[in-house]
Amino acid sequence: RDLELAQVSNLFTRYGQRLVTIVGPGGMGKTRLALAAGYALGEQYQNGVYFVDLAPLERVDEIPAAIAAALDFQPPDKSGDLFPQLLKFLRARQFLLILDNFEHLLGGSNLVAKMMAACPAVAILATSRQALNMAIESRFELGGLEYPESLTAENTGDYTAVQLFLNSGRRVRSEFNLNENNIEGVIRICRLVEGMPLGLILAASWLGLLSPAEIAAEIEGSLQFLAADLADLPPRQRSMQAVFERSWTMLAPDEQTVLAGLSIFRGGFTRQAAEQVAGANLRILLSLVGKSLVLRRAQNGRFALHELLRQF
């Protein structure tokens, strides 16, 4: 993610942005990119960079307490409203706050707006499956890693998706490397998950038992195969089924109906086809694009679902 890391960092350092949201589907590596950007930007913020995990929160009114806990801030008036005291603390300081997993708390964007207005030296890097939809927000869309377009591609090891699969595979089998017997299977895996980092990590976890070709065949057969009990992943990311289930439950019923209808398309579809076949009016289509569930190809204007999401 060297290129993406430089682009995110430049939004703060070169272009002076104060609110940047890394947007993408679950499993795309938004959190890891945000953490890397935080380390890269550390010297730019006199009072430091702090990570706030919003995933465990259930309500918008819990956000101030989560920020205060990350900053180890103790309000002077324990019985008073926390948020005004937090704003007063932040007003005279230069922080970068990483607000991770914002998508289920989008009603909290008004808190972010108040923070931006009251604290001129505070910057925020958010990650979300959906943009915060604010005028001062810079949206950075994160896609999959680069993978070969054909099974006979040259310089296969130069593709970042292949590199991640190899690095993850070597944690399971230290001697694992590309060779003429497995290269086609590795490319198939990268193409099946469309370069999604979490999909590659979960697929590589099976190398202790299966060959790359066998792993690819299992992925083609069932999305539920992409699962692993990896202790350093939160439970919501230990299977692709769980990742998509979280996005699915956040949809309105009419959005669920349309998304399910769009899954019959292979290789993309036009806006007209989406409307005729799945009943996707412009409002719903725009909402699904905004929630990183439907992709719009800028080069030809066609729409598509990620292949793993289509299977789900």
Q: What is the pTM of this model?
A: 0.90
Token reading at 32: 């890891």
- In sequence order, the 6+-apart residues with CB closer than 8 A to the CB of 234 are 55
pLDDT digits (tens, 9 = 90+) for 10-46: 999 999 999 999 999 999 999 999 999 999 999 999 9
pLDDT digits (tens, 9 = 90+) for 215-227: 999 999 888 999 9
Amino acid symbol at 203: A
Instruction: Note the pLDDT of residue 298.
Output: 77
